[in-house]
Amino acid sequence: MIDLNDIALFVQVVRSGSFAGAARRLGIPANTVSRRIQQLEQQLGMRLLQRSTRKLTLTNSGQTFYERCADNVEGLNEAARDLMTDIQEPGGLIRVAAPADFFDFFLMDWTADFLAKYPKVFVEFILSDAKTDLIAERIDVAFRGGSMQDSGYIGRQTQCDGNQCLVASPAYIAAHGMPDSLQDLVNHACVSFSQPGSHAVWSLTGPNGIDEEVQFVARFSGNTVQALRKAAMAGIGIALLPNPIIKHDFNAGLLLPVLPQYKRTGRNLHVLYPSRRHLPLAVSIFIELVVEKLTAEYAAPMVP
């Protein structure tokens, strides 16, 4: 097999006009350059250069070979330079796999600021609740809820408060009052994810650390968090929602806490990436951005 380094060396010899010139440019002995070009000619079975005491001249075959190789060699050099530049300045495409509701709690403005700060970076999001094969789908970084079971990946846990709490709109509380206990929820309208059977079930942890269950008939059910959030804000009923999703509504007074002594322990959000070796600078900076923003915004539990 022909050594591609020898082809690149041949291109350098032609551009330099001599073995000595190429040797000086590459920092290797001139006799090494001459020997490797001879080896290349032997492998190709043709003479590429005519040698004389004064200069080197391309043969017809050498001219054709040079014209075919020069642009490709330069392309490889440019690719290498671009990669080396990326080590010092973030650039390139970042492919991100994240839950379908990722932008419900990770503000798009944060991504906009990141892209404005690093104009050579491009970001592609693949939003799905299905687990993604990072290697097969060429994913640079993934965000997943729940326990981390992918032993083949490198991961870290964010400090995002993933607990869920009961909330309702001020209009609903004004019209129906505040429930006195968890079991009192059966006397209230509730909104919930669709569940098999005629009754929905919520399992929550009380102030004494004991799990309690309540069964109820959902007045409204849906299959997305945003559907339940909007139903609660419209005054349809009481909802059990993740803290990161409702924090801004909570702080703005659009949703009120219901039985705040009860909560459901949420799924922690993990950051996964295929390998920590040679992690592109843009990917590394993006990971730090997400962890920093989520920690600052959602690490502290909401206080009623």
- Give the residue with greater pLDDT, 14 vs 220: 220
Task: State pTM to two decimals.
Answer: 0.58
Instruction: Determine the pLDDT at residue 64.
Output: 84
**Domain 4-88 -> CATH class:** mainly alpha
Contact between residue 269 and residue 148 where contact means Cβ atoms under 8 Å apart: no
Q: What is the share, in percent, of the chain residues with pLDDT greater than 90? A: 20
Instruction: Determine the pLDDT at residue 40.
Output: 83
Q: What is the share, in percent, of the chain residues with pLDDT greater than 70? A: 84
Of the pLDDT bands very low, low, confident and very high (cuts 50, 70, 90), residue 230 is: very high
Contact between residue 80 and residue 87 where contact means Cβ atoms under 8 Å apart: no
Q: Directed axis angle between helix 243-251 and helix 225-233, to 10°?
A: 20
Average pLDDT over all residues of the chain = 81
Q: Tell which residue, 130, 164, 192, has the closest CA to residue 262.
A: 164
List the domain boundaries for the chain: 4-88, 92-161+267-298, 164-257
CATH 3.40.190.10 fits domain 164-257 = yes
- Give the residue with greater pLDDT, 221 vs 244: 221
pLDDT of residue 27 exceeding 90, the answer is: no
Query: pLDDT tens digits, residue range 148-180?
Result: 555 456 666 665 666 788 999 999 999 999 999
Of the pLDDT bands very low, low, confident and very high (cuts 50, 70, 90), residue 83 is: low
CATH-assigned architecture of domain 92-161+267-298: 3-Layer(aba) Sandwich (3.40)
Query: pLDDT tens digits, residue range 189-203?
Result: 999 988 776 788 888
Residues 6+ apart with CB under 8 A from 251: none
| Helix, strand, or coil (residue 2) | coil
Question: 2-6, 121-125, 202-206, 236-240 — which is least confidently predicted?
Answer: 2-6
pLDDT of residue 233 exceeding 90, the answer is: yes
Residues 6+ apart with CB under 8 A from 270: 143, 144, 145, 146, 148, 155, 156, 157, 158
Residue matched to tokens 């350059």? 33
Tokens of 85: 């530049």
pLDDT of residue 211 exceeding 80, the answer is: yes
- What whole-number distance in Å separates Cα of residue 236 and Cα of residue 41? 82
pLDDT of residue 303 exceeding 50, the answer is: no
The reply to whether 92-161+267-298 and 164-257 are identical in fold is: yes
Mean pLDDT across 7-34 = 82
Of the pLDDT bands very low, low, confident and very high (cuts 50, 70, 90), residue 114 is: very high
Mean pLDDT across 58-62 = 83
Query: pLDDT tens digits, residue range 182-192?
Result: 999 999 999 99
Residue matched to tokens 């005519």? 50
